[in-house]
Amino acid sequence: MTLKYLPEPFRIKVVEPIRLIPFEERKKALQNSGYNIFALKAKHVFIDLLTDSGTGAMSSHQWAAIMEGDESYAGANSYLRLADAVEKVFGFHLFVPTHQGRASENILSAILVKPGDFVPSNMHFDTTDANIRARGGRPTNLVIDDAFDPKNHHPFKGNMDLAKLKAFILETGVEKIPLGMITVTNNAGGGQPVSMENIRAVADLYHSFGIPFYIDAARYAENCYFIKLREPGYQDKSTLEIAREMFSYANGFCMSAKKDAIVNIGGLLATKDDKTFQKIKNELILREGFPTYGGLAGRDLDALAVGLYEGLDEDYLQYRINQTAYLASRLMDAGIPIIEPPGGHAIFIDAGTLLPHIPHHEFPGQSLTNELYLAGGIRGCEIGSVMFAVPNPATGEIIYPKLEMVRLAIPRRVYTQSHFDYVADTIIEIAKKADTLRGYKITYAPELLRHFTARFEPL
């Protein structure tokens, strides 16, 4: 018998009840939230696809490891177990735990970035972008152009454009580039992977100019699995071997462990440079905690040590990538425009194309996000003009992003295939009456990161 997909490689030992509240209550909840799904109470959400970060289900092994947590302030056994896993998975022995990814980014920016510096990457995630800016630096995105075409099936749409990177370094001058980065997978560009060939070439280029190379490793395991599936020469390598090779090219990495390490909280920051490590520890002690626990409890370190391996488990990764691909294929079969091919952790619906009658300034992504909640109690997230439209500082004219998207991020090991059939059916029903959806106007918005707290009214 050939199966189209592997069923979930786990069975369910603990359940968390969820409930679809009636339509009239969803309407009221959305109105009370100012038509912003960030202000909804989680208990009013049926299927929560707001993020895949910290929302995964830990395994029985991780929960068992939590009971072994050693809460000693310094040198705890939990730290030693984490150090062993970090060494085996990434090949790094100089590292600190942090409470989450942005804490690692803050420390890295604090010690390396000066005002006027530049930090290139394929695409920076928004917290990395903001942490570099907070130190007066300028994050620069140099992903290949294919990344911006939703129908382009490049197998590694997260790749850095090497010609652009080289030209950028020559133009900017190495003295203004304290570090270079790459994000695997490229979240801001649709969760698209980066090839090993590209990582190697990026590392070589940075190193030829003497620039240290740091990986944003939030979704390292999904990226490794895509390399195994798609890159010639890697089919017979294990994802662990692929991870070891990938990180061997880097001088360091920062990581949110809330994604591929399948923990609810945690992060890592690692380097190969002794002096940088000394500075990292000093900064960590100031803001997060002693270097053997970072901002975490001992038990969190143990869950993370186990999660680093579980994230790389190939049965799990096959299920994970297929689950995302399954939802994508149901939507594509019904003609719903999404970013193709689907990435690892999320589906990005092209709301601008689905709702062509709603202009940028009336927020098509917001309209679709809110309709998803009204129609099915599903929480996705607008990634379009609400999040990214900014006034041109010179003219005041609004610059709109290229794509108006809605992200459906998939928590790890949380929802089953029937949940995804329900999500797909709901979206297909919405698409049938797409021309009846209306835009929104903003009634309140703060100046920075407005999507989190803005309020809206339907037009």
Site residues, ligand F0G (CB under 6 A): 51, 53, 100-102, 125, 127-128, 183, 187, 216, 218, 256, 258, 267, 409
Catalytic residue among 83, 103, 218, 303: 218
Which one, 68 or 126, has the nearer CB to ligand F0G?
126
Cis before 185? omega within 30:
yes
Q: How remote is the C-alpha of 70 from its chain's centroid?
A: 30
Which listed residue (125, 156, 253, 277) is catalytic? 125
**Is 218 one of the annotated active-site residues of the chain?**
yes
Catalytic residue among 52, 161, 216, 300: 216
Residue number with CB closer to ligand F0G (127 or 366): 127
Question: Cβ closer to ligand F0G: 125 or 249?
Answer: 125
- SS3 at position 424: helix
Question: Closest CB to ligand F0G among 33 and 183?
Answer: 183
| Catalytic pick among 5, 23, 73, 444 | 73
The answer to whether the Cα torsion of 80, 82, 88, 92 is positive or negative is negative
Phi/psi class of residue 136: alpha, beta or left (left: φ > 0; alpha: ψ in -120 to 50)? left
Q: How far is the CB of 169 from ligand F0G (least distance, A)?
A: 23
Least separation in angstroms between CB 129 and ligand F0G = 10
Is 73 catalytic? The answer is yes
129-153: buried (b, 16+ CB within 10 Å) or exposed (e) per residue? bbbbeebebbbbbbbbebbeebeee
Mutual angle of helices 77-90 and 298-310, in 10-degree steps: 20
Q: Which two tokens stand for residue 148?
A: 């911006």
Report which of 369, 380, 355 is spatially closest to residue 433, judged by C-alpha positions: 355
Give backbone dihedrals phi and psi of 67, rounded to 5 degrees, phi first: -70, -20
Give 180's Cβ-side CA count (13 Å radius). 29
Nearest-angstrom CA–CA distance, 401 and 349: 15
The number of beta carbons lying within 10 Å of the beta carbon of residue 457 is: 11
Residue 101 or 376 with smaller CB distance to ligand F0G: 101
Which residue number, 321 or 431, has a Cβ lying nearer to ligand F0G?
Answer: 321
Query: Quick check: is 216 catalytic?
Result: yes
Least distance to ligand F0G, CB of residue 38, Å? 12
Helix (H, G, I), strand (E, B) or coil at 180: strand
The number of angstroms, rounded, from the C-alpha of 76 to the middle of its chain's C-alpha atoms is 30
User: Of 124, 259, 345, 419, which residue is the catalytic one?
Assistant: 259
Minimum CB separation of residue 53 from ligand F0G in Å reads: 4
State the nearest-atom distance from the C-beta of 71 to ligand F0G, in Å.
22
Residue 100: CB minimum distance to ligand F0G, A: 3
Q: Which is nearer to ligand F0G, 183 or 437 (CB)?
A: 183
To ligand F0G, the closest distance from the beta carbon of 186 in angstroms equals 8
* Nearest-angstrom CA–CA distance, 49 and 37: 11
Residue 4: strand, helix, or coil: coil
Return d(Cα 100, Cα 97) in angstroms, integer: 8
Give Rg (Cα) of the chain.
Answer: 22
125 is catalytic: yes
- What residues are labeled active site? 73, 125-126, 216, 218, 259, 451
